[in-house]
Structure 1
Amino acid sequence: MNVKIELNNYGVKRIRQGNPLIQVEDLKKKIAIVPMEWVTFIDSKKQYVATGYLGKQNKGFGWVIDQSKRAIDDEFLVEKFAQAIQKRQPFFADESTTAFRLFNGEGDGLGGVTVDYYADYLVISWYNETIYHLKDSIVNSLLAAFPNAKGTVEKIRFKSDQKESKWLAGEKPQEPLLVLENGVSYAVYLDEGYMTGIFLDQKEVRGRLTEGLAAGQSVLNMFSYTGAFSVAAAYGGAVETTSVDLAQRSLPKTQEQFQVNGLPLDQQKIVVMDTFEYFRYAKRKGFKYDLIILDPPSFARNKKKTFSVAKDYGRLIEDSVEILTNEGMIIASTNAANLPVKKFQQSIEAALESKHVRYRLVETYRLPADFPASDFEESNYLKVLFYEIKK
C-alpha cells in the first residue's frame, strides 16, 4: 500500500473531527483513475492523516478505515469483524430474534460493506467497486471471525454489469428461509435480487406493533412491500390490516408472511395499487383507520409520476389525516439519509397543522443497536416518528 492521496485542509479537518466519509471536495487534486487498493491519506505537508480507500458510492467518494498507521491486512480485518460480532452477543442470545445486522459498514469501522445475519446465513452487501475489488481478503476475514456460517450470499449495490445477487460459499437454504424477529416468523429469500423480504433496521418499530401497540385497531400499511408491519400488527392483536403496495409481487409475498405465522387471511386486505390512488379510493368509500404506517422509499417512479420523501411526504400526511379515525396514530418513517430528522419532523407537523388537527409526538426511533451509526448525520439515516392525532 504505497498510493498516497493528498487531502486539502478542509478534508483533513473533517477526518480529525471524526467523520470517516471522504468527499470529492476533500481531495487536493481531481482523481482521474480511482486506485483499487487501500491508500494513505496525507496533508499538505505530506504527513500521514489516515488509511482508507477511494470508491464512488451514493454517500461519497471513499472511507477512512484507520488513523493509527496500521496495515489493513487480514489480521486487521478479522479484528474488525470479531469486535462487531462481540457487540452482537445480546442478539445471538435472544432466541426470539434470528435475523439482525452483523456488521454495519462505517458504524463498525469499514465503510462500504455490510453483513446481515439470517439464522446462520450471511448476506454481504458491497456499495462501491473498490471495496468489491478487495472482497477476497474481506470475505476470508469475515469467515475466519465467524466460522459457523452455513452459507454466504453477496449483493452488488453499485452500478455493475454483474448479477446483483449471487451465492458465494456454503450451502443454499431451502427457501423461504424462516427467521424470527420478536417471536414473529418472516419468510426471506436470500438470493432474489437486492431484497430479502424484510428490512432489518425496522425491528424496534415492528416490536412495538408485536407487543400490542395496534391491539384492537384497524391498521393501514402503506408502501407495504411484503407486509412485515402488517404481520407484526396482526400478531400483536390488530383487528384487521390493510397492506397497500404498487408492486404485483407484494400480494403473494404478503400472503406468505401471514401464512407462515398461522394468521387468518380473511382479516387482512392486500391491495396492489398506487398509494395516492388508494387514499382517494379509501376516502370515497368512507374507510377509516386507527393506525396508519407510512414507510415510503426515498425516491420512487412509476409510469405516471415520481415520489420523493423531501418533496412529497407532507402529502402523505395530509391524505392520511383524511382517513384517520377521530383519535388515531400515524407512524411516519423514512430512510432518506440526506433528510435531517429536524426537517422531516417539520414537514410532518406543517402538514398536520394545515389539516387543523391536534397532534402529539409520542415516540421516536432511530437505527437499532445492531446498526451503529458513525459520527455524521447521514450515517444515522432511519427516522421513525409516532404521532397521536385528534381531529
Structure 2
Amino acid sequence: MNLDFPKLLDAAFNKRSPLFETTEAFRIVNGAPDGFPGMTLDKFGDRYQIQFFGDELLREKHAIADAIAQKFSPVCLVVKERLSRSGKSLENPPMEVVVGRPEDSIGVVREGSAKFHIDLLDTVNPGLFLDMRAIRLEMGSRAAGRRMLNLFSYTCAFSVHGRLGGAEISTNADISAKILDKGRENYALNGLEPKQGEFFRGNAVEYVHWAQKKGFKFDAIVLDPPSFARFKGKNFNVREHLMPLVADCATLLNKGGLFMVSSNYSEFNLSAFSRNALASVASVHPSAKTLWSKSQDIDFVGSGHTKDSCLVATLIEV
C-alpha cells in the first residue's frame, strides 16, 4: 500500500482545528474516512495512541509511527492491536510503546475547564472516552444548581464537569472500586471535595432500584452503559435491558430534569433509539420532550460506518 502518511496526517489534523481551543484530547484519525483504513489515532495532550481494528495497515505500523513522531514529537506513542489473528475483537490487546518509555504513558489532559488523568497502558481505555466530549461539556454547562446522577460512571468525567459547572452534587455509580478511585483522583485534580454519597461502588441497576425505595430524586441523570456487563452472576445486555432501565431512571427525575441516554452498541439506529428512549421516559413523565439526538463529535469522521466508531445519544427534558 503506497500512502503518503505525512500528507494524510496533516489533512486529518487540520480537520480537527475547531477543537484546538476546547481540548487537548481528540481523535486525529478515524479510519478509512481519514485515509487510514482499519486504524485510529488519538491525541491525549502530548501522548498519542494508535489502534489497529483491522490488518489493512499493520505492515505499515512502523512507517506510520515514524510519520507521527516526526509531526507531533510525542512524549509517548502506544500501539494497540485490537484484532486477533482470527479476526476477533480483543478487549485485552497487545500494547507496544514505540516512542518513549512505559512510565511516560501517564499524564493529564485539559477538556474545557476540566482536567483528567490518563494512562495509555491502562487496558483499552486511557480514562477518557473522546466521543462523549461535546456531551460532557454541554451537561456541565447545564449543571448549575442540579442534583446529578452519573450511572456506569467510569472515571467520573461527567461528574467533574457537572461539579465544575455548579452542580449541587453528582452521585457516581460503578461496579469497579479501581475505576471509582480514578474518579476520586479526577475530583482532586480539579480541586473538588467529594460530598457524602457521591461515590457508590455497585451495580448501577441496583443503585437505581435502591434509590427508588429511598425516594431519592435528581435533576439530571447520565446513563451511558457498556454494551454488556456482568456483576454478581447477573448480566446487563444493552439491547434487552436499556429501555426498561431508562423507565426506572425516569422515576428518579424531578420535574424540569434532564436525562442523557447513550450507547456505543453498533446495531442501534439513532432515530429509533431516540424514539424508544423518549417513549420510556414519557411512560413516567407524559410531557417529556427530546432536546436533541446526536452521534459522535467532529473528530470522528464517518461515524456510524464501522463497529468501532458509533454512538447514539439523546437528551430528554421532563
Same fold (TM over 0.5): yes
CA apart distance, 1:255: 0.4
The residue type paired with residue 104 of structure 1 is N
User: Amino acid of the residue matched to residue 180 of structure 1?
Assistant: R
Once residues 300 and 52 of structure 2 are traced to their aligned partners in structure 1, the CA distance between those partners, rounded to angstroms, is 16
Aligned with residue 197 of structure 1, among 127, 131, 148:
127
| Letter matched to residue 58 of structure 2 | Y
Partner residue of 1:152 out of 53, 56, 77: 77
Shift in Å at residue 376 of structure 1?
A: 4.0
Alpha-carbon separation, structure 2, partners of 1:302 and 1:330: 24
**Kept after mapping to 2: 8 A contact 1:340/1:377:** no
Matched, 1:166 2:91: no
Change in CA separation of 1:163 and 1:205 when aligned onto 2, cut-off 3 Å? closer
Corresponding residue for residue 62 of structure 1: none
2:8 paired residue number: 80
| Residue in 1 that maps onto 2:115 | 185
Task: Please state how far the C-alpha of 1:345 moved relative to its aligned partner.
Answer: 1.4
Match of 1:317, SS state, is helix
- Which residue number in structure 1 is paired with residue 65 of structure 2? 139
* Counterpart amino acid of residue 23 in structure 2: T
Aligned counterparts of 2:230 and 2:59: Cα–Cα separation in 1: 31
Structure 2 spans left out of the alignment, 5+ residues: none
CA contact under 8 A between 2:76 and 2:101: conserved in structure 1?
Answer: yes
1:112 to 1:377, Cα distance in 2 relative to 1, 3 A: closer
Within 5 Å, give how 1:1-391 maps onto structure 2: 72-74=1-3, 76-92=4-20, 94=21, 96-144=22-70, 146-159=71-84, 164-171=94-101, 176-211=106-141, 213-266=142-195, 269-355=198-284, 357-373=286-302, 376=305, 381-389=310-318
CA drift of 1:378 comes to 5.9
Once residues 107 and 305 of structure 2 are traced to their aligned partners in structure 1, the CA distance between those partners, rounded to angstroms, is 35
Aligned CA RMSD, in angstroms, stands at 2.3
Q: 1:380 to 1:119 in 2, by over 3 A?
A: closer
Alignment CA distance shift 1:86-1:340 (3 Å): same
Segment drifting more, 235-244 vs 302-311: 302-311
**1:56 alignment counterpart:** none
CA–CA distance in structure 2, aligned partners of residues 375 and 326 of structure 1: 33
Shift of 1:119: 1.2
User: In 2, Cα distance between the equivalents of 1:354 and 1:337?
Assistant: 26
TM-score (norm 2): 0.90
- Asked if the contact 1:155–1:193 (Cα under 8 Å) also holds between the matched residues in 2, the reply is no
Identity of aligned residues (%): 30
AA aligned opposite 1:116: D
**Which residue type is aligned with residue 128 of structure 1?**
G
Cα distance, 1:319 vs structure 2: 0.9
- Counterpart CA distance in 2 for 1:249 and 1:374 is 31
SS at match of 1:192: coil
Q: What stretches of structure 1 of length at least 5 have no aligned partner?
A: 1-71
C-alpha distance in structure 1 between counterparts of 2:53 and 2:186, whole Å: 29
Give per-residue Cα distances to partners, 1:126-172, cap 9 Å, x unaligned. Answer: 1134533431233233334x242222012221236995333111355
Alignment size in residue pairs: 313
Does the 8 A contact of 1:112 with 1:128 survive in 2?
yes
Stretch of structure 1 that moved more, 316-325 or 172-181:
172-181
The CA distance in 2 between the partners of 1:217 and 1:188, in whole Å, is 28
How far apart, in 1, do the equivalents of 2:188 and 2:171 lie?
Answer: 15
> Amino acid of the residue matched to residue 89 of structure 1?
S
Contact 1:361–1:386 under 8 Å retained in 2: yes
Alpha carbons of 1:303 and 1:375: their partners in 2 closer, same or farther (altered >3 Å)?
A: closer
Deviations 1:237-285 (A, max 9, x none): 0000100011121221110010000011126611111111111111111
Report SS of the residue matched to 2:195.
helix
Q: Distance in 1 between matches of 2:34 and 2:226?
A: 25
Give the aligned partner of residue 32 of structure 1.
Answer: none
